[in-house]
Amino acid sequence: MVHNQQAAALDNLFTEQRSFPPPPGFAEQANVTAEAYQRADDDRDAFWAEQANRLDWQTPFSQVLDWSDAPHAKWFADGKLNASVNCVDRHVDAGHGDQVAIHWEGEPGDSRTITYAELKDEVSKAANAFTELGLKAGDRVAIYLPMIPEAIVSMLACARLGLTHSVVFGGFSSEALRSRIADAEAKLVITADGQFRRGKAMPLKRAVDEAVAGDDSPVENVLVVRRTGIDADFGDKDIWWHELVQRQSAEHTPEFFDAEHPLFILYTSGTTGKPKGILHTTGGYLTQVAYTHDAVFDHKAGQDVYWCTADIGWVTGHSYIVYGPLANRATQVVYEGTPNSPHEGRHWEIVDKYKVSIYYTAPTTIRTFMKWGKDIPARYQLDSLRVLGSVGEPINPEAWMWYRENIGRGRCPIVDTWWQTETGGIMISPLPGVTDTKPGSAMRPLPGISAAIVGDDGQPVGNGGGGYLVLDKPWPAMLRTIWGDDERFRDTYWSRFAEQGYYFAGDGAKYDDDGAIWLLGRVDDVMNVSGHRISTTEVESALVSHPSVAEAAVVGATDETTGQGIVAFVILRGEAAAAAKEGDDDAAAAHITELRNHVAKEIGPIAKPRQIMVVAELPKTRSGKIMRRLLRDVAEQRPVGDVTTLADSTVMDQISSGLTSGG
């Protein structure tokens, strides 16, 4: 019984008791108030119809949800709209053409300001260019670009023409790009000559050359933006963006598409090696991202300055840089570079420069800021900030509190937003004007969204219980299928609780005694030690609550006696880090003993790591996710597996060669 075991283990794991009400005055001006929960529950269809009517429909819809072909949903199916018109034209038509859409900040310090009127011209020109290349509604386009305005323009121009974009993160290899191009049969690739990374111009077009080489490539053209001036070889397929796009007319009359017309494919990793092409469609997706961007961030068009630090290569960038904010007429910051280029205060400098009021980032970034020290943000005003967001992984209470105190200065609500590439938009999150937040909890499903925590048998657990997170009712931005593999779509998400018809999210979660939801990480990362279920996240959280730990990653390693044993990898800071660097073995061993005891004290003796290894870096993907699979290989003394998706592929060598372990 999953929930009994898990509940037993979790009883003493969560000792977090703090709770923070919305700041005074926030509730009064909030976009969404508490009544929305009840209203949405009373009539879900009416609630979502109301949200859909935030958008401009060329043909209004008559039916909200068609679930007759479950698990394939149709939302607003007989309505027609154009996503790019909703994100751009309608704001210009309403007289907001001079409002800034994008404050773009390049890594080397160059910048561009783009108004909605200018964005409309750029998107129209790009749409005319894509048409000149012979592309037709339904064709697929791969976008492999750094965080430059042309990336956003390209996505919107695709949407305008009914082309389905597949954005591939600019940090992925040529092989990854090739397999994604092949799977989607993309006819066009949009790329740049190069990209700036930590002050250096790195080639990008070269990877495309490799990815489209050979006679069997479906790619007919490669459109190249000049960003760095780095050398790029040009062949028959290649065209410069500035030569093709800039000479186009800025007039473009849009067509309108069915609500269920495919908008984009985004590849995400699953449990097997082959990435899954998650398919999203137009009307439901745009409805949910616009609604959630408004409700969760309390966004006020024409007043707020919004900044989401994600890359458009990930779903966060699709939903909360491109489609949600632009549908809501946001003025937003888009930043090309890394947080420490050219110095560790770059984000805070940008916040002050543009008076950013809503800031949305990932826990891994927050923990990096913690490592750099609170003195850095302390040098900046940060007084424009009013809402802080977190996304991508469970946020440990220490990072949450650090974020609240050092960035929000105790004044800004934090919205910890749970969702996935597959859900398309935010699902579980506090509402900043309504919810009393708890450090580390995503709290409860948004109005209109339904989720449950169930045991192995699919039965809901009660307050205090833990199990699997499921989504028990369809939602507008849900994935429609896996591109080219509907069977995998059914298997991955709908077979685990087929009887109940629930979507299986793959995350463990628990309710606390008040019914708030705490995400516990992927269920494949939940360990089972002597019959006790312990989340890797829990142990990591305990470790990083110790003053000498900067970051921690925990894996369950196969253990003859206990089933799994807990193995922790830690990056030390302060004195402990210095001792480890100097090779002071006695001091290092003492620190490790102390850390094991600390975890035992924080969580309970069952959670005491079997082994703690001190490392200089953790293996992370380019989106910042720790690759526990590789750490498990080290912990289980196996040869290390495929490292190609690591941001820095040398990290595993460093770890394997420089281990200090004990316990």
CA distance 376 to 556: 35
Q: Is 488 within any annotated ligand binding site?
A: no
Q: Shortest gap between Cβ of 512 and ligand WT7 (angstroms)?
A: 15
Residues near 656 by beta carbon (within 8 Å), at least 6 away in sequence: 634, 640
Residue whose CB is less far from ligand WT7, 345 or 619: 619
The Cα–Cα gap between 24 and 412 comes to: 10
Least Å distance, CB 521 to ligand WT7, is 6
> Taking the complex as a whole, how short is the minimal distance between the CB of residue 430 and ligand WT7, in angstroms?
11
Q: Which is nearer to ligand WT7, 48 or 314 (CB)?
A: 314
Question: Which CB, 19 or 63, lies closer to ligand WT7?
Answer: 19
Residue closer to ligand WT7, measured from CB, 150 or 393 = 393
Size of the site for ligand WT7 (CB under 6 A): 20
Q: How far apart are CA 505 and CA 508, in angstroms?
A: 9
Q: Is 507 annotated as a binding residue?
A: yes
Considering only 315, 322, 449, 576, the residue that binds ligand WT7 (CB under 6 A) is 315
**Minimal distance, residue 451 CB to ligand WT7, in Å:** 12
100 vs 391 by CB, closer to ligand WT7: 391
**Per-residue binding letters, 435-454, with ligand WT7 (x by CB under 6 A):** -------x------------
Residue 422 CB, nearest distance to ligand WT7 (Å)?
Answer: 7
Residue 245, annotated as binding a ligand: no
Residue type, 218: P
- Does position 106 bind ligand WT7 by CB under 6 A? no
Min CB(393)–ligand WT7 separation in Å: 5
- Smallest gap from Cβ 413 to ligand WT7, in A, equals 15
CB of 518 to ligand WT7, least distance (A): 9
For residues 225 and 395, which CB has a smaller minimum distance to ligand WT7 in the complex? 395
Q: Is 549 assigned to a binding site?
A: yes
Strand partners, 390: 361, 416
Stretch 226-255 residues interacting with ligand WT7 (CB under 6 A): none
**In terms of Cα–Cα distance, which of 187, 190, 168 is closest to 275?**
168
Residue 268 touches ligand WT7, criterion: CB under 6 A? yes
Annotation-wise, does 200 bind a ligand? Answer: yes
Distance in Å, CB of 615 to ligand WT7, minimum: 23
249 beta partners: none
CB of 369 to ligand WT7, least distance (A): 17
Does the annotation place 555 within a ligand binding site? no
Closer CB to ligand WT7, residue 152 or residue 505?
505
Q: Applying CB under 6 A, does 144 fall inside the site for ligand WT7?
A: no
**Prior bond to 430 cis, omega within 30?**
no
Binders in 363-422 for ligand WT7, by CB under 6 A? 391-394, 416-421
Q: Which is nearer to ligand WT7, 515 or 531 (CB)?
A: 515
* 392 annotated as belonging to a binding site for a ligand: yes
Q: Is 519 in the site for ligand WT7 (CB under 6 A)?
A: yes
Residues numbered 529 to 548 that lie near ligand WT7 (CB under 6 A) are: none
The answer on whether 241 is annotated among ligand-binding residues is no
Per CB under 6 A, 107 contacts ligand WT7: no
| Nearer residue to ligand WT7 within complex by CB, 36 or 479 | 479
Q: How far apart are CA 568 and CA 659, in angstroms?
A: 12
CB 119 within 8 A of CB 112: no
**Residue number with CB closer to ligand WT7 (321 or 607):** 321
Q: Cβ closer to ligand WT7: 289 or 576?
A: 289
Rounded to an integer, what distance in angstroms lies between the CA atom of residue 263 and that of residue 271? Answer: 25
Which token pair is 387?
């809402």
- H/E element holding 52? helix 44-52
The reply, when asked if residue 123 is annotated as ligand binding, is no
φ/ψ of 11, rounded to 5, equals -45, -45
Within residues 577-606, the interface with ligand WT7 by CB under 6 A covers none
Please report how close the Cβ of residue 390 comes to ligand WT7 at its closest, in angstroms. 6
Strand order in the sheet with 305-308: 111-115, 100-105, 331-335, 305-308, 358-361, 387-391, 414-417
State how far the Cα of 184 lies from the Cα of 260, in Å rounded to an integer: 18
Sign of the torsion formed by the C-alpha atoms of 160, 161, 163 and 167: negative
- Minimum CB distance to ligand WT7, residue 391 (Å): 5
DSSP state of 524: G
Reading the block at residue 410, the tokens are 């105790």
Of 5, 82, 287, 316, which one interacts with ligand WT7 (CB under 6 A)?
316
DSSP state for residue 20 in the 8-state scheme: B
Q: Is 197 annotated as a binding-site member?
A: yes
Closest by CA to 636, choosing from 578, 564, 534, is 564
Residue 363 φ/ψ, nearest 5 degrees = -55, -35
Ligand-binding annotation for 419, yes or no, is yes
Contacts of 370 (CB under 8 A, 6+ apart): 398, 399, 402, 550
64 is annotated as contributing to ligand binding: no
- Kindly write down the DSSP assignment for every residue of 270-282, as one continuous string: -SSSSPEEEEEES
Alpha helix positions (H), 561-616: 574-581, 585-602
Let me know: does 639 contact 592? Beta carbons within 8 Å. Answer: no
Q: Which is nearer to ligand WT7, 118 or 393 (CB)?
A: 393
C-alpha 401/C-alpha 625 separation (Å) is 21
CB 175 → ligand WT7: shortest distance, Å?
20
Question: Rounded to a whole number, what is the distance in angstroms from the first to the last CA of the chain?
Answer: 31
Please say whether the beta carbons of 566 and 600 come within 8 A: no
* Whether the Cβ atoms of residue 48 and residue 312 lie closer than 8 Å to each other: no
Residue 393 annotated as binding site: yes
Measured from the CB atom, the residue of 480 and 522 that comes closer to ligand WT7 is 522
Nearer to ligand WT7 by C-beta: 328 or 420? 420
How far, in whole angstroms, is CA 661 from its chain's centroid? Answer: 33
In the range 44-83, which residues lie near ligand WT7 by CB under 6 A?
A: none
Count Cα atoms within 13 angstroms, Cβ side, for 147.
Answer: 29
Q: Distance (Å, rounded) from C-alpha 114 to C-alpha 319?
A: 19
Other C-beta atoms lying within 10 Å of the C-beta of residue 524: 13
Among 349, 445, 361, which Cα is nearest to 395's? 361
Residues 496-515 that bind ligand WT7 (CB under 6 A): 505-507
C-alpha span between 323 and 17 (Å, rounded): 36
Pairing of strands 164-167, 140-144: parallel
Does residue 33 have a known ligand-binding role?
no
Given the rule CB under 6 A, which of 114-122, 143-151, 314-322, 552-560 is the region that contacts ligand WT7? Answer: 314-322
Binding residues for Mg(2+) are 544, 546, 549
Binding residues are 197-200, 316, 340, 392-394, 416-421, 507, 522, 530, 533, 544, 546, 549
Q: Which residues bind ligand WT7 (CB under 6 A)?
A: 268, 314-316, 391-394, 416-421, 442, 505-507, 519, 522
Binding residues for ATP are 392-394, 416-421, 507, 522, 533
Binding residues for CoA are 197-200, 316, 340, 530
